[in-house]
Amino acid sequence: MRGLYIHIPFCVRKCAYCDFYSLAGRQHLVPAYVDALLTEARSYAGLSFQTLYLGGGTPSLLGDRGLRRLLNGLHQVFDLSGLAEATIEVNPDSATTALLETARQKGFNRVSIGVQSLRDGELNSVGRVHNAAQALAALAQAKATGFASISADVIIGLPEQNWGTLHSTIGKLVHMGVQHISAYCLSLEPGTPLAADPPANLPDDDAQAELFHRACSFLESEGFVHYEISNFARPDHECQHNLNYWRGGAYLGLGPAAASHLNGRRFKDRDDLETYLRNPTGLVEDVEILNAEAKAAEEAMLRLRLLREGIDVRALATRFGRANTQGLTRRLREMAMRGCLVRDSTRYVLPADRVLVSNSAFAEVLGD
C-alpha cells in the first residue's frame, strides 16, 4: 500500500487560523505549478500507488483545465492502475460543476469539502471566503456528480459557536448524506492572525472539549464510526489514504511542504513555492531515518490515533523484531495498568474518555 499526496499551495485568501503552507493571490502560477509537479513526479517515475489525495491549500483552484493536465501527466509518469481511492479537497466557492465533473472523469471517487460550518457568522469570523449556501450547493453538486464518498470538514470551537449551532451544522451534513466528517478543534497556531489577535468570544479548551464530546455522541448515534481522533465515517467510508499515514505506511508527497515516507525514510519538500517552480526536485529537506526501535515506537504512536484498530504489539513485533518492540510493549503494559490505555490481549487502544487528552499518551508511547 502506497499513497500519493499532492499539495496545491494556492488560496483565494488565507483563513485567520490556517498555518498550512499556501499563498493567496498566486493562482496565475497554476500552469507553471502543474509543470513543476510533473517534473518532480518524473524523479519517482514508475512507482505505483493505491491512493491519491489532492490537498492544500485549495486544490479546486487548479480549475478543470489544470486538474485535467495534472492527472494526465500523473498517469503517464506513475502506475495508477491499482488506484482504489482518489480524493480531491475542494472549497465550496471554487467547487464548480466543471471542476467536479472533470475530477470524476479523471478517476476521483472521493471529494472532501471544506464546509467548516453552515453558519455564515461563524464562517465570516475566521475569514472563510465561502458562505453556508455555497457549501450546501457544493455538497449537492458533489452528490449529483456521483462521488462514491463525500466528506465534509467541520471546525469545532469557532467564535460564538455553541452546541446549538454546531449541532445544526453537523445535523444538516448528515441529512445531506455525507459519509465522512473530519471534525477539527480550532487551535491558535503561532504566527496566524487568529493567534495574534484572538477574538474574545472564542470557546476555551474546556468548551471545545464539551462541543467535541457532544458531536461524537451525536455522530455515533447517527451510525458514524469514530475511527480516528478527528475523523468519523459510515462503515467502509474511512479515508484509506489517511489510514495509511496512521498505519505507518509509505507515501510520496509532491509540492512544497509535502511530506513523504518511502522505504522507511521520512523527508519533505521545503515550503518555498518560488524555488520549487525553478527547481522542483531540489527542495528535499528534513531527511530522517529512524532505527527499528524508534520506528516501531513511531508507528505505535500513530496507530494510537486509530481508536478502533489501535496498536497490535504482536504485529509490530513480527515486523520490527521482538528485540525492537520489547521496551514499547513494556511501556504499553504499564500504561494499561494505569488506565491510560485499554488492553485487549495484544491490542491497545485509547480509552474513549481520553481521546482529547491523548498527547501525554502519544509522548509516552514514543518513549525516551
Partner 1 sequence: MKNIRNFCIIAHIDHGKSTLADRILELTNVIHTVSKEPSLDSMDLERERGITIKAKAVRIPYYARNGQDYILNLIDTPGHVDFSYEVSRSLKACEGAILLVDASQGVEAQTIANTYLAIDAGLTIIPVINKIDLTNIMLDDCYLQLDEMLGIPSEDVLRVSGKLGTGVPELLEAIIERIPPPQGSPDEPLSCLIFDSAYDSYRGVLPHIRIFAGSVQRGDRIMLKSTGKVFEVDEVGYFSPDPVVGQKLGAGEVGYLTATIREAGDVHVGDTIISAKHPNTPAIPGFRHPQPMVYCGLYPVISNDYGKLTAALEKFQLNDSSIVYEKESSGALGYGYRVGFLGMLHMDITLERLKREYELMLIATMPSVVYKIITTKPEELYVDSPSKFPEPDRIDHIEEPIIRARVIVPMEFVGPCMELADSKRGSLIGMEHPDGKRVVLIYDFPLAEIITGYYDKLKSVSRGYASVSYDLMGYQPGDLVKVDILVKGTKVDALSYIAPRETASTRGRALIHKLRKLIPRHQFEVSLQAAIGKKVVAREDIVPIRKDVLAKCYGGDITRKRKLLEKQKEGKKLMKMVGQVEIPQEAFLSLLKLEE
Binding site for partner 1 (CB under 8 A): 3, 5, 7, 20, 55, 184-185, 187, 205-206, 208-210, 212, 229-230, 242, 245-246, 251, 253, 257-261, 266, 268, 286, 288, 298, 301-302, 340, 354-360, 362-363, 366
Nearer to partner 1, 118 or 257 (CB): 257
**CA dist., res. 110 & res. 86, Å (int):** 6
Nearer to partner 1, 132 or 258 (CB): 258
**CA dist., res. 135 & res. 110, Å (int):** 16
Nearer to partner 1, 54 or 103 (CB): 54
Nearer to partner 1, 79 or 189 (CB): 189
Amino acid at 250: A
CB of residue 343 vs partner 1: minimum separation in angstroms? 18
CB of residue 144 vs partner 1: minimum separation in angstroms? 29
CB of residue 249 vs partner 1: minimum separation in angstroms? 9
CB of residue 299 vs partner 1: minimum separation in angstroms? 9
Nearer to partner 1, 109 or 187 (CB): 187
Nearest to 79 by CA among 53, 43, 48, 50: 48
Contact assessment for residue 233 and residue 226, using Cβ atoms and an 8 Å cutoff: no
CB of residue 283 vs partner 1: minimum separation in angstroms? 14
Q: For cell 494510537, name the residue.
A: 304
**CA dist., res. 207 & res. 200, Å (int):** 14
Amino acid at 222: E
CB of residue 54 vs partner 1: minimum separation in angstroms? 11
Nearest to 111 by CA among 57, 151, 63, 153: 151
CB of residue 48 vs partner 1: minimum separation in angstroms? 18
Nearer to partner 1, 51 or 125 (CB): 51
Apex CA 359: angle with CA 341 and CA 329, to 5°?
A: 40
Nearest to 228 by CA among 272, 188, 168, 180: 180
CB of residue 245 vs partner 1: minimum separation in angstroms? 5
DSSP 49-107: -SEEEEEES-GGGGHHHHHHHHHHHHHHHSB-TT--EEEEEE-GGG--HHHHHHHHHTT
**CA dist., res. 178 & res. 156, Å (int):** 18
Nearer to partner 1, 345 or 359 (CB): 359
The interaxial angle of helices 97-105 and 132-145, nearest 10 deg, is 30
Nearer to partner 1, 100 or 355 (CB): 355
